[in-house]
Amino acid sequence: MNTYPSLSCITIDGGNAFSVNFAGDLRYLAELDCDRMLYNFRAAFGEEPSCEPVYGWDAPDGLLRGHSTGHFLSALALAYTSTGDDLYKTKLDYMVGELRRLQLKSKGVPHEFVTACTPDDCAQEKWSRDPSVWGEGFLSAYSPDQFALLEQFTPYAKIWAPYYTLHKILAGLLEAYERTGNGTALDTASGIGRWVIDRLSPLTAEHRAKMWKMYIAGEFGGMNESLARLALLTGDKTFLAGAKMFDNVNIFPGLAEGTDTIKHLHANQHIPQIMGALMEYRASGDETYLQIAQNFFDIVTKHHMYAIGGVGQGECFREPDLLAHFIKSDTNCETCATYNLIKIARELYSLAPERADYMDYIERGLVNHILASRNPEITKHMTNGVTYMLPIGPGVEKYYTDNYHSFTCCHGTGMENHVKYGDCIYFIKDETVYVNQYIPSALDADDVFVKIDVPFPGSCGKITVSAHRDTVVKFRIPAWCGNTPFHVNGKPAEIHGRYAVVECGCGETVTIDVCFDFAARFELLPDRLSDYDAYMVNKNTHYHGDKKPDDTAETLDKTPKMTVGALMYGPFVLVTCDDTDGYLHLPAEAVFTASIENSSLTVTGAGYTFRPIYAVHGRKYHTYFILD
């Protein structure tokens, strides 16, 4: 059996950046007002809310309102499973109960709902106020008018991704059921699923394909994932048929053949669809879906990824292998995209647990993007401040959302990210336990106890394994690591592929000494810049020249010659704080010296001081450099 152990079996140790973010996120979820998160749902169903709403993308007039409530459900389920604290379970049960109560007000046949709006006349004042015609099972923070308008091919921003919002709600309900056993959540999710299937069934496949091709308006998140998951949970194949209604024929066939069909497309509009393909593979056994996901992951990580594990510029994939040309200001690397890529890597790994490269990506994205996306400093109005984009351009700064007034999609995933660090540390397959991430923690599951005492950040420590059955423990050897870091009784552990292998007999305790070989290195982008390109990047204009270059730009050399790279130390992407707007230059052969004191890593060299990107907040910084 291949499985990730429950978060209830994993303890995150204190005294490091992971535990700080973990505790801060838990505090935010404890503070967040359930009634404010329900405000828009109650208002949509004709009830008078008695509290203040939330704002940003979930504002009462926002077209995406309700999506963060779905993330809140997921985060509460994760928090309860991670801590066992009934506070989170009580809040979750209250949220689910209220949503189910509202859902039961929706009556009628889903596909019979007709909006009074047209694409040219769709003001919210004209939206339906009568749940008795919305269709049984419907649940959202607004009426079904946006769904009907999508069927009329109404563009963004007249409407905004109704199926995306619905997926977040559905996903949160499924987390509530799978993580905590809340049966009402499954009933509510099933009702949504049946509404979706009935609503879409009268449409032709060609009609649906045109909808899913629409920029943002047709964004559906991971609806195919949740419907396929419902099929697995309930045994009802109708949900699998519903999942297949979301198969994106605009990108799936090409990906199945290994063709890059995602370039120039909105990144996070399409990444969750790939997680959906994996769930459809689980539910159907059709290996085409698995091939789609494997090829997608390879294309993205080999041709579209920056050093932190993030992708895209201005929310979109650009031209493959043309990355330096798209480092612009603070518009790179949407945090939601990395959240979803980690989900895909995690699922792919569960199907092939010797594929350490999937866990290499998770380490990269977790340490350098997700961990870096949260501000560890808590203020009155910012308990869990998280980034929308995590910028990597010259002289950029992180900006964070606050508690109630600046909700974004990444604020929603940011509720989840920091209470599920344990999700990717350990994996169990039959009698083998895999240790894949070296986050200080402990696992107590399946008659095996594993304790990771390797400081973060830090290169040396120990891992202790105790077993009440014969057990094999495999430790991932990171791709950035040189010699094997694992020793038992002074001898190197046996190596199988990318794993060090240690056997622990029933009743035994084995101590593994760990010493990672950290070293500074540059990770280069595939494209080189000319003087002109670098100037245009620094000017924050599109490299093709969508703005007329000024006289200075006209005189610059356009011959590509400058190499652009990020400085890394072990798994860490390093940045230097500097207010300079343009690229900084570093000698390609520079020598760097590292020191770790009080859980703080500092690297010096070439006249600069560098720190991991996760450790820098409130300062302008540089992630990429021109190497001379």
Percent of all residues in the chain with a pLDDT value above 70, rounded to a whole number: 98
CATH node for 427-456+459-515: 2.60.40
For 139-143, 486-490, 530-534, which range has the lowest pLDDT when averaged over its residues?
530-534
* CA dihedral sign of residues 586, 587, 588, 591: negative
The amino acid that residue 43 corresponds to is A
Distances (CA, A) of 212 to 219, 221, 329, 353: 6, 10, 30, 33
DSSP string, 141-192: SS-THHHHHHHTTPPTTTS--HHHHHHHHHHHHHHHHHHH--HHHHHHHHHH
Q: Tokens 């109704």, residue?
A: 162
pLDDT above 80 for 468: yes
Angstrom CA distances, 356 to 4, 319, 361, 436, 474, stand at 15, 27, 9, 8, 11
Query: Residue 546 has what DSSP assignment?
Result: S
**Model confidence over 172-209: pLDDT tens digits?**
999 999 999 999 999 999 999 999 999 999 999 999 99
Rounded to a whole number of angstroms, the distance between the first and last alpha carbons of the chain is 51
Lowest mean pLDDT among 136-145, 527-536, 546-555: 546-555
Q: DSSP character for 4?
A: P
The reported pLDDT for the residue numbered 532 is 83
Stronger pLDDT, 544 or 308, i.e. the higher one: 308
pLDDT for position 336: 98
In whole angstroms, give the CA distance from residue 7 to residue 443: 9
- Amino acid identity of residue 102, one-letter, is L
- Which run of H or of E encompasses 512? strand 509-515
CA distances from 162 to 219, 264, 309 (A): 8, 22, 28
Return the biggest CA–CA distance within the chain.
76
Confidence tier at 543 by pLDDT (50, 70, 90) = very low
pLDDT band at 539 (very low <50, low <70, confident <90, very high): low
Q: Is the dihedral of CA 323, 326, 331, 337 positive or negative?
A: negative
> In the structure, what pLDDT confidence band is assigned to residue 135 with cuts at 50, 70 and 90?
very high
> Alpha helix locations (H) across 485-603?
531-538, 551-554
Give the mean pLDDT of 457-481: 96
The counts of H helices and E strands in the chain are: 18, 22
**How sure is the predictor about 545, in pLDDT bands with cuts at 50, 70 and 90?**
very low
Name residue 10's beta-bridge partners. Answer: 443
pLDDT at residue number 552 = 67
Does residue 158 carry a pLDDT above 70?
Answer: yes
Phi, psi for residue 517 in degrees, rounded to 5: -90, 85
Which residues lie across from 313 on neighbouring strands?
316, 332
In this structure, the chain runs to a length of 628
Query: E strand or H helix at 524, and its extent?
Result: strand 520-524
Residue type, 412: G
Q: How far is Cα 148 from Cα 162, in angstroms, rounded to an integer?
A: 10
Instruction: Report the 10 Å Cβ neighbour count for 320.
Output: 16
CB atoms within 10 A of CB 52: 11
- How many Cα neighbours within 13 Å face the side chain of 1? 4
Q: Phi and psi (nearest 5°) for 253?
A: -60, -40
What pairs with residue 572 in β-bridges?
Answer: 569
Q: Could you read off the pLDDT of 586-619 as tens digits, one per residue?
A: 999 999 999 999 889 999 999 999 999 999 999 9
The tokens 């200075």 sit on which residue?
A: 552
Task: Tell me the pLDDT band of 359, cut-offs 50, 70 and 90.
Answer: very high
Per-residue pLDDT at 354 exceeds 80: yes
Residues 588/546, Cβ–Cβ less than 8 Å: no
Q: Which residues pair with 585 in a beta bridge?
A: 626
Model pLDDT, residue 82:
98
> In CATH terms, are 16-424 and 427-456+459-515 the same topology?
no
* Contact predicate 127/142, CB 8 Å: yes
For every residue of 414-450, DSSP letters joined together read HHHHTT-GGGGTEEEETTEEEE----SEEEEETTEEE
- CA dist 288 and 271 (Å) reads 17
- Asked whether the predicted pLDDT for residue 105 surpasses 60, the reply is yes
When pLDDT is averaged across residues 553-581 and rounded to a whole number, the result is 91
Alpha helix segments (H runs only) across 222-266: 223-234, 237-244, 252-256
Mean pLDDT of the chain: 95
Topology given in CATH for the domain delimited by 16-424: Glycosyltransferase (1.50.10)
Give the global pTM.
Answer: 0.97
Q: How confident is the model at residue 546 (pLDDT cuts 50, 70, 90)?
A: very low
Gap between the Cα atoms of 370 and 477, Å rounded: 21
Name the DSSP class of 267.
Answer: H
pLDDT digits (tens, 9 = 90+) for 20-76: 999 999 999 999 999 999 999 999 999 998 999 999 999 999 999 999 999 999 999
Let me know: does 592 contact 549? Beta carbons within 8 Å: no
Strand-pairing partners, residue 612, are 574
| Distance of alpha carbon 29 from alpha carbon 87, whole angstroms | 10
Given a cut of 60, is residue 492 above it in pLDDT?
Answer: yes
Contact 2, 427 (CB under 8 A): yes
Cβ pair 491, 544 in contact under 8 A? no
Domain ranges for the chain, please list them: 16-424, 427-456+459-515, 520-627
Instruction: Report how far residue 433's alpha carbon sits from residue 431's, in angstroms, rounded to the nearest whole number.
Output: 7
pLDDT digits (tens, 9 = 90+) for 244-292: 999 999 999 999 999 999 999 999 999 999 999 999 999 999 999 999 9
Q: What are phi and psi of 436, to 5 degrees?
A: -115, -30
